[in-house]
Structure 1
Amino acid sequence: MGKSHFRNTTFLTNPFQKNAQFCQLNTGTVPNAGTSVWPDSSSFDFEINNSNRGIILSNPMRISGTSVSIESSDLDASELRRALLFWDVIAWPASSGIYICGGPDIDFLLSEKRLIRPKFHMNGDAATGLSMAFSQTLKILEGKMPGQWIMSNGESSLSLSGKDLLTDRGVLTTLSNLIPIPMHDMPLEEVLRFRDARLPEVLALRSALDRLYQDWMNSEDKEHQLKMAINDLDIAISAMIKVARESKNPFTLSSWEMSFSFSAIDAFKGFFAGKIFGLDTASSLLAGAASTISFSKGVGLKSAKSNSPFTYISSIHNKLL
């Protein structure tokens, strides 16, 4: 499906009917009426292990005020496989104003209970309502599983602009040309099979990413702790590179951007400013790739409040592993 662009879309009638890949768009105008959303309670009636980690995804879509530009009617294939490998459950929110079904991969993951579709009723502007649905999904899921959820944001998922973003919020951590993820055409069954076989390496990398923030905050010698955390991350990434190669499945290197949300004073943020580190072990396995970790001032989602170590994540896919 090609790009679609809508302004002042609003919810009219008949929510959540599934009759096509692009299932529903209700359009109209509600002048200055404001927008409200409320959850369809049945869509949050699911069983998830409290120890599981979740990520909120979107089909590639840009929302700016009352405008929404839909780049694709399905989740990005690479983004989906990255999420499936490193997180336990995926949430893809929808509103009654704009409801997009996705393709066969979505049906498969729903049947495997690896994906949930939180749904929201709304009154008002559909673009605004959809943006609110994402922030409300994070709030509700965080209430169920504190500290276990993050939101994906960027070109391959939901891209927000304008008043939905806050600049200089936390620390933006960029992992460049480092983390192997499945190629966009790897069958989902193979991704799950690889994950099951290499779960220790997957969890070790996820834990190292968590500790990059958590251990630093709790340490008195922050310079030393940061170096230790980066060394642990280097080891975990190197292990993932090795097992990805051994699997003979198609993997690609990816760059990740993670926004760590700091409630601490600005001096803490300044500690990270402009720091760039090489990951020697991982780089030695990736001849020709400039593999680094760097820190800069972050950009946060205004309405997204989470107890997770990092609040949002985006990725840029690079070269074959």
Structure 2
Amino acid sequence: MFRTPLASLFTCLVIGIAVALPCGMAMFLHDIRGLTSELGESAQVTFYLKANNREQTALAFLAELNALPEIDSSRYIPKADALRELEESHGIGDVVAFLDANPLPDVVVATPTLSALQSPDELQKLQQTWSQHKLVERVQLDLDWVQRLSLLSVVVERVVWVLSVLLGAAVLLIIGNTIRLEVENRRHEIIVVKLVGGTDAFVRRPLLYMGLWLGMGSGFCAALLLELAFSWLNEPVIRLSKLYGSEFSFSGVQISTFLLIVFVTSLLGIFGARMALSRHLQAVEPA
């Protein structure tokens, strides 16, 4: 490896690019899930209650909702409070003064759990069931963007798994082929070592170290490529998220992520070298 540094560097870069793609998508998925969690706090199911309900009845209905596993929290908004909030937020006090009665209904606003947000069918079933409740006039779901992001995260997760398996196999093949070529280049050297009593374990050791160094170097290259890519993308993403009132940004390569990438690529390097040596080293024997 150290005798041909340029070739080894290119090998590490090729493997690093292959590793960076699924790792980058996994990091993107992690950040998207954080955004889904952030938006989940603003996702709401609004229950408009019938006009003839009493406050005690509404509070009992609130307790029923809080007991549901799909609901994280809920709150009761009396129609008087709703009218006051509307008056303060929109500055329509003069208009409200001319009203003979409060036209707004009592409302219960519920926030679904994150697991419920990832199950649109369950929320639709919840809407249909509670729309028939004797206290409820109408149920409104305000979950479109959150559900889209949740479904997007599911799709990205499956793509990450597929790419991880395919590109992981590609990394093993690249390292295995590199070790095979190294065995062929050292054929005469290996034969001489075996003639003077060198064991297969002795011959195998430096080649396993070569696989380890290739894997480790590839991990460094992958982490560097990811950090450069996310740093370049982060500025426009931050500007875009601010337009939507969010503080979303890419987290970049953390220390734990860096160590995990290097650890996994090192294991792939050793395993790929081991597989190649178990097959090709036996073919190199003294005549």
Q: TM-score range by the shorter chain?
A: under 0.3
Q: Normalising by the residue count of structure 1, what TM-score does the alignment of the two structures yield?
A: 0.19
Instruction: Determine which structure has greater relative contact order: mean sequence separation of CA pairs < 8 Å that are 6+ residues apart, divided by chain length.
Output: 2
Looking at CA atoms only, which structure, 1 or 2, has the larger radius of gyration? Answer: 2
Which has the larger strand fraction? 1
